[in-house]
Structures are given as structure tokens and as C-alpha cells.
Amino acid sequence: MLRETRTIPEVIEQHVEQAAFLWQLRDAAVHSTQYTLRAIAELDDRLDANLEGLGVAGEAGWKLCEAALALGSAGEVFVTSVLALDSKDPRRIRVAANVACQSPGALRGFVSALGWLPYPRVEPWIERLLSADDAVYRRIGLAACAVHRRDPGAALVTALRDSDTALRARALRAVGELKRHDVVALLREHLDDEDPGSRFWSAWSAVLLGELAGVPRLREAVEAASPFALRALAPALRSVSASSAMDWVRSLTSDPRHARTIVVAVGLIGDPIAVPWLIRQMRIPELARLATQAFITITGADLAESRLHGSRPEGFNAGPTENPDDDNVAMDPDEQLPWPAPDAVAAWWAAEERRFTNGNRYLLGRSVDEACLRQVLVSGTQQQRSVASLELAKFDAGTMLFETRAPGFRQEAWLKSVPRPG
């Protein structure tokens, strides 16, 4: 009876809509300052339940998914691609892939579907993609390998020399994700690449592999306020000493474009010497919430437990307003972040400061070491986990970058399988 109920068109359509919506929600959540691994896993369980419902619906489920592809959005592409790949039907897979190639967003949905399903189930299709004539398909194959942390072998080296800039950039990124030390020489060749994406990802991967020659290029991306600026911050800052990183951040203060970048950078450096400065920034409404996030990243303070929460300053507005004459339509970038009570934070720091040593690096109140980083991967927010994964990759030259965007149930299994340090 339950199986028959699930094939009712209205219910199946609801599965399609819910699955697409939940994927869009997780797409934002995997970079969030609010979501933890457990929260991601719970979200993924809900997504998986809707995908299962569509799978049970059979042909009726596929037809509704195929119709939803007309929207061309990443969520619908993800849902349809999961069903197509799981069915092993070449025609269905071609339908999903053709729509995926029409826009960058849709392409992300297709890659996400390849990353969602267990690797053995999608391996044959990934191999076909890697050997395709079309550079877009080869890029999808490389991205899928990287998401699963599977080495594509010779296909990666070939892509590093390809004239297609998007394919080359994705291959350069994969070098760092997969820790391919054998192609470091090729990374160096692309540090001066004319293509901004290739130049950035060669520097990013070089730093992950311990090649400090990439640091100046990452700093250039930040200084130019390029689209890669925020991605460049963590590896650029955490690959040099805290004092060296702080000196470079001070050099950015003359440019008002970097006001927010500097606050984020101070949190990433993790030196408690900057905490009093962060508390002062909490009194500036435009920076208050961002400074609070940086303060938490260093100290691990629990705002709710320690009663450090504040309220929105009177008269302060960020993001769109109800005024029809207001041309500002940009969303408030700090909407999800808590407001601080600066006086209470200052009092907390006065009481706790003795636990910290200036010049050392901290993450969530602990000195940065392997045990700390693994704990953050288990219990930190997604943004904190991303920083921890970068740092952890430096502890062992052979350790691949931990994929904090993978399905939550898979991440939890990976973490349980890794021996604890000490």
C-alpha cells in the first residue's frame, strides 16, 4: 500500500520539489557558519529520503524529474542526475548531462550528483567522462574524481597541459585536493598563467603541497580584491608564521576595500594578540558580527552560554529595505551571524585572556595541533571545518584534503575510520 501511495503524481512531484530545495539548502549549508557536520548529515538524510521516494516511483518519478529539468536550475539537475546515474540508463544520463552543460550552476548540480552516489556506482561513467573529446565532460570527470578523492591518474596530467582554461584550472585545483606531489613542476609553470583561474588554483595547490612559491600569488588575489580573494585567505595566512601573516594583514589597512577581509584574516591567523582589536571592531555596526565570528574562531567562546549576545544597533540597516527609492538590493552578508555585546565580550576576555599566549595560533580556543584539527572536523561549523581541513593537510604530506562538502553520512564514516592521534 505504501509503495502505491508513493506513485501518486502529486506525492512524486512533492519529492522532486523537496529534493531540489534540500539540495539548494545544503549547497549553501556546506559553507555556513551555522551548520555542523551533524546538521549536514541530518539534512542529507532528509534529501536521501526524498531521492529514495523518487527511486521507488520508477518511470513515473523519472518523467517528473525530466520535466523539472526545463527549469535548468542546479537543484533539479542534481535530482534528475542522481536518478539517471542510479538507473545506469545511458539515455537518461545523456539527457541530464546535456542540460547540465548549459550553465555553470547546472554543471555543479551534475557534479554533485556524481559525488553523492557511492564511487563504485559512478566509476564507469567517470571513466567515460575523463576520456571524452569534449573538454567540458573531461572537467566534470576530474571534478567528480576530486570530490570522491580518487586519483584520475594520467588524465590529470593531460588536463594540466590542456588549452581549455576551465579544464586546466580544475585540474590544477585537483592537484592540491589529491596531494599529487609528482606534478609540482607543472604547478610552478602555471603560477604566471595568463588565465586568472589557472593562476590562482596553481598557487592554491602549491601551498597545500608545501610550496611557498604560491603564497605571493595568493596574496595578490587578496590585494586585488579578486573573485578568489576569500578562497586565497586561509592558505595564504596559515602557511607562514603568525607574525609574518599579521604584518601582511597590516599592509592592507590603507585600502578601505579590505576592511571586512582584514577582520576575517585576523580570525584565520588565530593569534590572540588581535582579540582586543576585534572587540573594538564589535562597536562598529558594519563589522560587529564579522568581528564576533573571528573572535569565536580564535577563542571558542560560546556566546549563548557566556551571555555575550547583543542586539542590532538602533537605526542600523543592512541589505534591502522596504523603501522603494532605496537602490540597495544586496543581501546582508552577515545576516546569519550573531550580534555581540561588546562590553560583556571585553569582560569575558579580561577573565579568560590568561589561557592564551600571544604569538601562538588558536582555533576555537585550542592550540593548533593535529588533535585539535580532527576535533574541529567532528564538531566545528562548516566554515571552521574548512579551515581545519586545510591545516590538517599540511601535517602529513600524503594526506588528501578532507572533503567537508561530501555527504554527511560519508564524512562521518571517514572520520570514524581514521585513527586518532596519540
What is 286-351 written as a DSSP string? HHHHHHHHHHHHHH---TTTTT-B--PPTT---S--S-TT-------TTTTSPPB-HHHHHHHHHH
Q: Does one domain contain both 365 and 346? A: no
Is residue 372, in this structure, part of any structural domain at all?
A: yes
Is residue 49, in this structure, part of any structural domain at all?
A: yes
pLDDT at 324: 52
Residues 132 and 351: their CA atoms lie apart, in Å, by 62
Is residue 84, in this structure, part of any structural domain at all?
A: yes
Give mean pLDDT, residues 213-219.
Answer: 96
**How many domains are there within the chain?**
4
Interaxial angle between packed helices 59-68 and 74-87, expressed in degrees from 0 to 180 and rounded to the nearest 10: 150
Q: Are strands 362-363 and 366-367 parallel, antiparallel or unpaired?
A: antiparallel
Is residue 122, in this structure, part of any structural domain at all?
A: no
Which structural domain, as residue segments, surrounds residue 289? Answer: 253-315+334-351
pLDDT at 10: 83
pLDDT at 2: 41
According to DSSP, residue 36 is labeled B
Give mean pLDDT, residues 61-69.
Answer: 90
Is residue 126, in this structure, part of any structural domain at all?
A: no
pTM for the full predicted model = 0.90
Give mean pLDDT, residues 79-99.
Answer: 95
For the chain, the average pLDDT equals: 92
Is residue 326, in this structure, part of any structural domain at all?
A: no
Interaxial angle between packed helices 370-379 and 37-57, expressed in degrees from 0 to 180 and rounded to the nearest 10: 50
pLDDT digits (tens, 9 = 90+) for 400-412: 999 999 999 999 9
Phi-psi label, residue 98: left if phi above 0, alpha if psi -120 to 50, beta otherwise = alpha
Q: Does one domain contain both 113 and 4? A: yes
